[in-house]
Amino acid sequence: MENQINDIEILIVKFLSGETSPDESEELIHWIDESSANKKLFEANKRIWEKSPVYFSSSEILSDQGKIKDQIIQQLSESAKELNLSVWIYRVAAILALPVMLGIGWYLGSGRNSAETAMCEVTAPKGHISKCVLADGTQVWLNAGTTITYDPTLKGNYREVKLDGEAYFRVSKNKLKPFVVTTKQAQIKVLGTVFNLKAYSGEDKVETTLEEGSVELSLNGSNANPIKIKPGEQVVFNISEKTITQGKVDIYLQTAWKDGKYVFKDADLKTIIKELEKLYDVRIHLKDDSLMHLRFRGMFEYDQNIFSALETLEQTTNMKYRMDGRDIWLQ
């Protein structure tokens, strides 16, 4: 059911933005012809798409996305029932994938009424995971505290996305237009592939992990040849030390977050705390800094609350916790 909902969402957005292939257009038309309710749902979306303004507030986007998703779920679950609710859709192709939160998208730039200058920004606030679908069909999962910025038309010789944070990309193939992800420290160039890129502002590392295909990593301001990464490999650039390490990693450990899981194996407490702060939007303090070097293995699920995570740590160590609002003390 969830996959069918996501497929319909993607097809509607791609069709209205003129990005569907002939096969995808035929698939959507077939779905529309299946029932009068499907046709009514699509036509309502089309009217609002055509009349909608360029700019939407974040509250409008969240509200509209929830309404359209609820109606698609209702349509798929009760195909014989007539839909009388208003139908909404937004121009930014940000589609909910996990039951956590939609990325907040909006158009930026002084020329908001100009398609040539408008940029799209999608954000997953702390404590949430988001997913968006670009106009070319590329799917992007955003980890907590992540922002991507891009030209929604993806025009030019490259399909460029700017990243601050961590994102998992499933890139649509297009040999004529490489896909480029730019961060403050590095640039990733691909044609069509699946990879994870972690590059939060304020953190000392840029981590690129390749699941499928091939990518090239170039360091900003460097004349060195791009680093080619093979499937199953990870390249880590240490910003302060100016060092690069490359080697095989467990892909699942690096990408499980997009499925709502934080899996760690022999991770130190400092690393776990950093992830928990992003995941639950809290501040964690240690009474004794020597605890930073304690190592753990296990898993936290994103739909669990912070108390479950703290109790897991408490059960596997002698640590106790105290919580005051969003501040947590471990000792």
The answer to whether residues 35 and 96 belong to one domain is no
Task: Indicate whether 44 pLDDT > 80.
Answer: no
The answer to whether residues 80 and 138 belong to one domain is no
Boundary of a domain, candidates 28, 62, 91: 91
Q: Tens of pLDDT along 187-245?
A: 999 977 999 999 999 888 999 999 999 899 998 888 888 899 999 999 999 989 989 99
The three-state secondary structure class of 305 is coil
The answer to whether residues 139 and 65 belong to one domain is no
Query: Token pair for residue 34?
Result: 């299946």
The answer to whether residues 69 and 154 belong to one domain is no
**Residue 272: predicted pLDDT:** 84
**Residue 196: predicted pLDDT:** 96
- Cα–Cα separations (whole angstroms), residue 299 to 67, 122, 180: 33, 27, 32
**Residue 161: predicted pLDDT:** 94
The answer to whether residues 104 and 247 belong to one domain is yes
Task: Indicate whether 321 pLDDT > 90.
Answer: no
The answer to whether residues 112 and 254 belong to one domain is yes
pTM of the model: 0.63
Residue 217 and residue 188 in contact, taking contact as beta carbons nearer than 8 Å: yes
**Residue 84: predicted pLDDT:** 33
How many CB atoms are closer than 10 A to CB 249?
16
**Residue 112: predicted pLDDT:** 41
Question: Can you give the CATH number for the domain in which 146 is found?
Answer: 2.60.120.1440
The answer to whether residues 54 and 109 belong to one domain is no
The answer to whether residues 96 and 184 belong to one domain is yes
The answer to whether residues 148 and 39 belong to one domain is no
Boundary of a domain, candidates 53, 68, 91: 91
Task: Indicate whether 310 pLDDT > 70.
Answer: yes
Tell me which of 74-78, 219-223, 308-312 is least confident.
Answer: 74-78
**Residue 182: predicted pLDDT:** 94
The answer to whether residues 85 and 14 belong to one domain is yes
Average pLDDT over residues 28-42: 84
Domain count, the chain: 3
Average pLDDT over residues 132-142: 89
> Model confidence at 98, in pLDDT bands (50, 70, 90)?
very low
Question: Can you give the CATH number for the domain in which 308 is found?
Answer: 3.55.50.30
The answer to whether residues 119 and 231 belong to one domain is yes
The answer to whether residues 202 and 288 belong to one domain is no
**Residue 77: predicted pLDDT:** 47
More confident residue, 167 or 101: 167
CA atoms within 13 A on the CB side of 168: 19
The residue range of the domain holding 139 is 92-259
Average pLDDT over residues 67-82: 48
